[in-house]
Amino acid sequence: MKIIKAEVFVTSPSRNFVTLKVTTESGLVGIGDATVNGRELAVASYLKDHVAQLLIGKDAHRIEDTWQFLYRSSYWRRGPITMAAIAAVDMALWDIKGKAANMPVYQLLGGASRNGLRAYGHASGTDTEQLFDSIREHLELGYKSIRVQTAVPGIKAVYGVAAQTQASGERYDYEPAGRGAFPQEEDWDTRAYLRHLPTVFEAVRNEFGPEIPLLHDGHHRMTPIQAAKLGKSLEPYDLFWLEDCTPGENQEALRLVRQHTTTPIAIGEVFNTIYDFQSLIKEQLIDYVRAASTHFGGISPLKKVMDYAAQYQVKSGFHGPTDISPVGFAAQLHVGLAIHNYGIQEYMQHSDATNTVFEQSMTFKDGYLHPGDKPGLGVEFNEEAALSYPYQQAYLPYNRLIDGTVHDW
């Protein structure tokens, strides 16, 4: 089953997406997601200028061989751009294989291990009242687990707070990247955050009771000892997980955090390969793998890292923001349905414009996601609709402390 064409599309229905379309001699088409928020054109060039020609004439059935070929032949391995490009090829080939077999991809990965994938939604607010309203709205939508992010007194703009006007004057609803040529500057104060956050979780538990699983994202902003302190101070509120409490580069940091707290730890949305998880899983320093198919080299390595994690009772919690396109999202739903050590899936609904370009067949019902049973990944890419949403320059914000020092965002 020879590949005859590999095309790259950059489109911006509400936000930017990079999509690879692979066509075979027999007319089967597969799509893959290569979106790297804020660096879209770099990965589009990587695919167009360096990968597309390598695919022509290759057998689309040889997914593992193609993955290994792209990974090893580039010599300069890993990194978000390379791995997102490889991810798109991997997804497109799984999509094609599913269509050739007339089966959804999860069937090719071993079949369903559960009926549906429990998901968590994102509640946020500038004050307690707004946060409670947001939690109630999410419960009404069917979410059974909820991530809680709030404003912090004294800080103007905080990651993850949807209803809050940001420094840019815009609102974070589904996309924190601001349009324009330069990233927006935001502010940060870890001590204020560490004082405030436990009071928020206390209020949420008092209002909503002990049962509902609650999550929180620290977004890489703490030092190890600050993260340890936060984990400890949140213990009474029984979090499902504390995410990205320290920067992702330093695996050792979590050893220190782990020594101090029983709050479950999730990390890995910015990780590219299984090696980033090697010590974390083996030493049981984390509880959830936050990798995203799109930034981790695709379906093949995501399945592998989860099989490795299974030996250590570490579960999945794949990254599912709206900057993962519906294609990347579907890819990880198929993996999540098939693996035994599924944990939870982050879910943030894509906009109507996004859903016009990417016609999804996945469902969200009573708090559970399902990738659907269409052959392949189950997502149709509408090229004509994509053309009406050209790329728009957009970048994620960044933080500075009160004295002007750049800080993790």
Residues in contact with ligand EZ4 by CB under 6 A are: 37, 176, 217, 219, 269, 319, 321, 323, 396
Euclidean distance between CA atoms 22 and 32, whole angstroms: 8
Euclidean distance between CA atoms 189 and 168, whole angstroms: 19
| Annotated active-site residue in 120, 159, 288, 342 | 159
Three-point CA angle 17, 170, 230, nearest 5°: 85
Closest residue by beta carbon to Co ion: 217
Rg of the chain on CA atoms, in Å: 21
- List the strands of the sheet with 17-24, edge to edge: 3-11, 17-24, 29-33
Separation in Å, CA 237 to CA 149, 160, 212, 243, 333: 14, 20, 11, 15, 29
295 binds, among Co ion, ligand EZ4, none (CB under 5 to 8 A by kind): none
Q: Is 260 a catalytic residue?
A: no
Q: What does the block give as tokens for 184? A: 């927006």
Binder among 217, 276, 287, 323 for Co ion (CB under 5 A): 217
Least distance from Co ion to the Cβ atom of residue 189, Å? 20
323 binds, among ligand EZ4, Co ion, none (CB under 5 to 8 A by kind): ligand EZ4
Least distance from ligand EZ4 to the Cβ atom of residue 219, Å? 6
Question: Which residues are registered as beta bridge partners of 3?
Answer: 24
Q: Is 50 a catalytic residue?
A: no
Distance of CA 203 to the CA centre of its chain: 28
Least distance from Co ion to the Cβ atom of residue 269, Å? 5
Least distance from ligand EZ4 to the Cβ atom of residue 69, Å? 29
- The nearer residue to ligand EZ4, 63 or 227, going by C-beta atoms, is 227
Least distance from Co ion to the Cβ atom of residue 290, Å? 7
- The nearer residue to ligand EZ4, 60 or 327, going by C-beta atoms, is 327
* DSSP code for 275: G
Looking up tokens 């939690």 gives 135
- The nearer residue to ligand EZ4, 94 or 241, going by C-beta atoms, is 241
Residues of span 244-273 touching Co ion by CB under 5 A: 269
175 lies in the site for Co ion, by CB under 5 A:
no
Per this entry, what is the length of the chain? 409
- The nearer residue to Co ion, 63 or 254, going by C-beta atoms, is 254
| Annotated active-site residue in 219, 319, 334, 350 | 219
Residues 6+ apart with CB under 8 A from 95: 29, 30, 31, 32, 105, 376, 377, 379
Residues annotated as part of the active site: 159, 219
Interface residues with Co ion (CB under 5 A) are 217, 269
